[in-house]
Amino acid sequence: MFGPGGNNWDLALNKSFPLARDGTRLQVRAESFNTWNHTQFGEPDGNAGGGAAFGRISSTRTPRLIHLAVKVLW
């Protein structure tokens, strides 16, 4: 039994800003997982003895996640 395919795009953006002449920098970073928020269905129930649930998809994978971070590098 095969499940549905996946359509998952991840994206990361970062920018560094100089803070001082000694090389200290401020880094700002944004990461997005499943950027376009496509529904990611789980695998169908493969238990043939499970009755009416056999072959049904009853779960989804993680929806869009966004991480923001600020870091000082010295």
- Per-residue model confidence as pLDDT tens digits over 9-45: 999 999 999 999 999 999 999 999 999 999 999 999 8
Say if pTM beats, i.e. exceeds, 0.75.
no
pLDDT-derived band at 68 (thresholds 50, 70, 90) equals very high
What is the pLDDT at residue 53?
Answer: 87
Check if the beta carbon of residue 66 is closer than 8 Å to that of residue 12. Answer: no
Domain ranges of the chain: 10-73
What is the pLDDT at residue 11?
Answer: 98
Average pLDDT for 49-59: 88
Tell me which amino acid residue 72 is: V
Check if the beta carbon of residue 38 is closer than 8 Å to that of residue 7. Answer: yes
